């Protein structure tokens, strides 16, 4: 979903959360001083009303036989290959412009230092004049060196504090891993090396371990549990198949990954603050000699001009890659439809709008609750309730926003209605032959939901989050029964000692 549509969706759902859904009343007013613990209810399988009901939870054997054979490898269209190659060539030219700029500035500084030294000899033996000329001679050299250092700063290795998501291994979730592996084998896509779980209404796949991961195709699959709670297995499989579909083509996948890494590097070059920026600001803001102020002003001007050039390169690279990204979304949709069918893939895309809206309402509720230091202990459950409680007029407003949206030059995704129309036109049946709730893949889904909720809070609040801030959410049977809830005190977890959400 594009940023424009998502922004309008968020606006609508915030209105819903404030005017229609009494989610604050679902949060217990009681809290305890116990460590952060989560109830363990292994016999309960959470089933969303959106899911197709089944009499029993599918067995591992049923899930292993859920796909009929393997899909034949889909050849990438020649025009798409040429597009990827053209974009890659452009993305190579942009760093070359950066290198040429650095070399030009460094050469200018070196030329001035070696060819303009005669300035000092030309003023004779007048001490004050010699000092003044020496200062005028040295200022461009120092400012030029600072500008070169600024332009070289992105090449220095820097450690970025990256969020560590809650993840599960094969021993903890064997059925989930087995099913995803079977899906990847069916699609002829690489299997993920790790699966992360989050409380976001999203799913994505990224390459782990930088450039080494690109070569080895080491992928990490991240699954948002609100999708699992809301979608039936067929639609959830379509979402995962879409994400894995981006990596089903080896050569194109690697080339696209390189293109996106270059694009991200150009963005950091244009907008990230470097140590040179901070040093120049300290000079300009401090009580220093006028010569230092002049050096700082000249360096600041040079850095501003260089940053302007880099912003132009970053915007050009971003614009060039967006058209490729939009086409890649159509291709990934087609890959998903080959697995689960066109109708299920289209239904999943439509349902994601309301799942995102419910998640946004839950997050707004949590933000309001934090003002009173009371946070719902299960964002996944709360988000699913908010999704089911969306009024019809708000759903219509969301749909109208989507239908009225046309793709723009910098959009990474094509309009949703065009994606659904392309799927309907393809009329693919798919090879998945099992209907069940997506939660059947997970062991102790309710417990996992609370783990990822704590992980989400910790990523935002850090050490500010304390056990007494979490209060239990008591969901009514249906949104209409929201007045029939009662608070439940939090008890000790039968599963044993507290377990931290992040690893």
pLDDT at 343 over 90: yes
pLDDT (tens digit per residue) in 430-482: 999 888 999 999 999 999 999 999 999 999 999 999 999 999 877 665 443 33
Counting every residue, how long is the chain? 503
Distances (CA, A) of 315 to 112, 244, 294, 321, 501: 33, 28, 31, 10, 38
Tokens of 257: 């990954």
Alpha helices in 341-444 (DSSP H): 342-371, 379-388, 392-403, 416-426
Q: Token pair for residue 269? A: 């070059």
DSSP-assigned states of every residue in 82-138: HHHHHHHHHHHHHHHHHHHHHHHHHHHHHHHHHHSTHHHHTTTT-HHHHHHHHHHHH
| DSSP structure class, residue 432 | B
What pLDDT score was predicted for residue 213? 54
How does pLDDT run across 357-381, given as a tens digit for each residue? Answer: 999 999 999 999 999 999 999 999 9
**DSSP string covering 312-364:** HHHHHHHHHHHHHHHHHHHHHHHHHHHHH-HHHHHHHHHHHHHHHHHHHHHHH
What was the pLDDT predicted at 212? 59
At residue 351, the pLDDT reads 94
Q: Which two tokens stand for residue 194?
A: 């790790």
* Spatial distance between the Cα atoms of 371 and 359, rounded to a whole number of angstroms: 19
Q: Where does 210-259 show beta strands of DSSP type E? A: 219-224
pLDDT band at 90 (very low <50, low <70, confident <90, very high): confident
Residue 154 burial class via C-beta count within 10 angstroms: exposed 0-12, middle 13-18, buried 19 and up: middle
For the chain, what percentages of helix, strand and coil (3-state, to nearest 5) are there?
65, 5, 30
> Residue 155 and residue 169: Cα distance in Å, rounded?
35
Place of tokens 């049946």: 429
Q: d(Cα 97, Cα 101) in Å, to the nearest integer?
A: 6
**What residue has token string 């000699």?**
289
- Pick the closest to residue 80 from 290, 314, 323 (CA basis): 323
pTM: 0.73
CB-CB neighbours of 492 under 10 Å: 11
Strand-pair partners of 220: 194, 206
Chain Cα centroid distance, residue 84: 22
Q: What is the pLDDT of residues 103-142, one digit of tens each?
A: 999 999 999 888 887 777 776 677 777 778 888 888 888 8
Most confident of 55-64, 305-314, 382-391: 382-391
The Cα-based distances of 233 to 51, 180, 424 in angstroms read 7, 12, 20
Residue of 45, 66, 36, 142 lying closest to 502 (CA atoms) = 36
Place of tokens 């409380």: 199
| Contact yes or no for 447/38 (Cβ under 8 A) | yes
Domain limits, the chain:
1-503
Highest mean pLDDT among 95-104, 317-326, 452-461: 452-461
* The two structure tokens encoding residue 478: 């249906």
* Residue 74 structure tokens: 């889909």
Q: At what angle do helices 445-461 and 379-388 cross, to 10 degrees?
A: 100
Q: Please check the confidence at residue 257 and state whether its pLDDT lies above 90.
A: no
pLDDT in tens, 170-194: 999 999 999 999 999 998 888 999 9
Q: Where residue 43 falls among pLDDT bands split at 50, 70, 90?
A: very low
How sure is the predictor about 26, in pLDDT bands with cuts at 50, 70 and 90?
A: very low
Ramachandran category for residue 373: left, alpha or beta (phi over 0 → left; psi -120 to 50 → alpha): left
Per-residue pLDDT tens over the stretch 394-429: 888 888 887 777 777 778 788 888 999 999 999 999
Q: Give the rounded percent of residues in the chain with a pLDDT score beyond 70.
A: 75
Enter the tokens of residue 491.
């008890």
């Amino acid at each position: 979903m594009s940023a424009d549509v998502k922004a309008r969706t968020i606006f609508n759902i915030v209105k819903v959360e404030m005017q229609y859904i009494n989610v604050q009343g679902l949060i217990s007013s009681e809290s305890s001083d116990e460590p952060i613990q989560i109830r363990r209810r292994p016999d309960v399988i959470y089933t969303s009303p959106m899911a197709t009901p089944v009499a029993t939870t599918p067995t591992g054997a049923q899930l292993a036989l859920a796909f009929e054979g393997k899909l034949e490898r889909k050849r990438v269209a020649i025009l798409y290959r040429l597009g990827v190659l053209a974009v890659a060539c452009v993305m190579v030219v942009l760093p070359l412009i950066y290198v040429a700029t650095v070399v030009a500035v460094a050469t200018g500084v070196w030329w001035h230092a070696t060819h303009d030294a005669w300035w000092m000899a030309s003023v004779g033996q007048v001490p004050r004049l010699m000092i003044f000329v020496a200062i005028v001679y040295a200022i461009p050299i120092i400012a030029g060196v600072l500008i070169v250092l600024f332009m070289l700063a992105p090449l220095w290795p820097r450690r970025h504090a990256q969020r560590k998501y809650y993840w599960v291994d094969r021993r903890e979730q064997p059925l989930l891993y087995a099913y995803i592996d079977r899906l990847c084998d069916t699609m002829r896509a690489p299997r993920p090396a790790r699966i992360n779980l989050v409380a976001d209404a999203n799913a994505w796949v990224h390459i782990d371990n930088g450039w080494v991961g690109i070569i080895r195709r080491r992928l990490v699959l991240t699954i948002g549990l609100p999708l699992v709670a809301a979608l039936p297995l067929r639609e959830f499989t379509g979402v995962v198949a879409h994400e894995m579909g981006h990596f089903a083509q080896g050569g194109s996948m690697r080339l696209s990954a390189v293109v996106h890494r270059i694009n991200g590097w150009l963005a950091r070059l244009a907008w990230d603050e470097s140590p040179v920026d901070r040093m120049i600001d300290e000079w300009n803001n401090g009580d220093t000699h006028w010569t230092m102020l002049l050096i700082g002003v000249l360096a600041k001007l040079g850095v501003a001009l260089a940053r302007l050039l880099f912003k132009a390169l970053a915007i050009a690279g971003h614009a060039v890659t967006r058209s490729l990204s939009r086409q890649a979304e159509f291709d990934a949709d087609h890959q998903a439809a080959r697995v689960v069918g066109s109708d299920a893939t289209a239904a999943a895309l439509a349902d994601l709008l309301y799942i995102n809206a419910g998640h946004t309402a839950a997050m707004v509720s949590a933000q309001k609750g934090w003002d009173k230091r009371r946070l719902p202990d299960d964002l996944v459950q709360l988000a699913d309730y908010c999704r089911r409680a969306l009024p019809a007029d708000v759903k219509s407003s969301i749909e109208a926003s989507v239908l009225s949206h046309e793709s723009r030059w910098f959009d990474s995704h094509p309009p949703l209605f065009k994606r659904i129309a392309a799927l309907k036109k393809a009329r693919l049946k798919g090879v998945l032959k099992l209907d069940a709730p997506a939660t059947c893949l997970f062991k102790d889904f309710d417990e996992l939901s609370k783990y990822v909720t704590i992980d989400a809070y910790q990523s935002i609040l850090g050490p500010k989050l304390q056990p007494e801030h979490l209060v239990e959410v008591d969901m009514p049977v249906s949104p209409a029964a929201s007045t029939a809830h009662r608070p439940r005190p939090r008890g000790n977890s039968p599963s044993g000692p507290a377990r931290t959400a992040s690893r």
